[in-house]
Structure 1
Amino acid sequence: MPTPEEIREVLKINVKDPELMLNVVDLGLIYDITVEDKSATIAMTLTSPGCPVGPMILGDAQRYVHQAFPELEEVNIDLVWTPFWNPSMMSEDAREELGIF
């Protein structure tokens, strides 16, 4: 079974916010990843509750993880709003890219 770190790397490489053109890991949208038996659960958020590309981002996360690790029978996305996302959750590189210091 994959580790949470391996799943995080797949998300970082493959899943981007198409409006900001940054990956969901560097944006700070991935809160937790658990792997139990043959199931992975990814607790993540979006930059805002009304994010128009939210369904696409969530679908991409599920699809890419399942493709990378076909041994997982389930890849569940748990959309959470607590804590509410804010720019301080981004990596330093992401903040620099967007000009947020």
Structure 2
Amino acid sequence: MAQINEAEVLDALRECYDPEIPVNIVDLGLVYGLNINQEEGHVDVTITLTAIGCPMAGEVMEEIDMRVRQVENVKSCKVDLTFDPPWSPERMTEDARWELGLV
């Protein structure tokens, strides 16, 4: 059975950017969960956004779905949006902090 490579899924997610901050969603700490069902070729991604009222939420979720489905052996993807716990800048990686000049 062909396997889905988690690192490739994360690389695909790194191609998705928050519409207000020029840093990818992984380094921003917006990806709260990643579950890969190898048997079904399915990926569940749980994300949050930096702002609850973000008018671009639908577009961000569509882009995540599109990019994850491009990963080899992925047959389907579901993107869930949560605001629990709320996002905070402490979730950012050190790379993201450098990129934004916060270090």
Shared fold (TM-score, shorter chain, > 0.5): yes
> How many residues get paired?
99
Structure 1 position 79, deviation (Å): 0.7
Counterpart amino acid of 1:52? P
Q: Give the equivalent residue in structure 2 for 1:43.
A: 46
Q: Give the equivalent residue in structure 2 for 1:25.
A: 26
Q: Give the equivalent residue in structure 1 for 2:89.
A: 87
Moved over 6 A (4+): none
Contact 1:4 1:34 in 2 (8 A): no
- Find the residue that maps to 1:78 and give its secondary structure: strand
Q: Give the equivalent residue in structure 1 for 2:65.
A: 62
- Find the residue that maps to 1:63 and give its secondary structure: helix
Task: Please identify which structure carries the higher helix content.
Answer: 1
**Structure 1 unaligned residues grouped into runs of 5+:** none
Structure 1 position 99, deviation (Å): 2.8
CA RMSD of aligned residues (A): 1.5
Counterpart amino acid of 1:92? E
Contact 1:30 1:45 in 2 (8 A): yes
**Structure 2 unaligned residues grouped into runs of 5+:** none
Aligned ranges 1:70-85 → 2 under 5 Å: 71-85=73-87
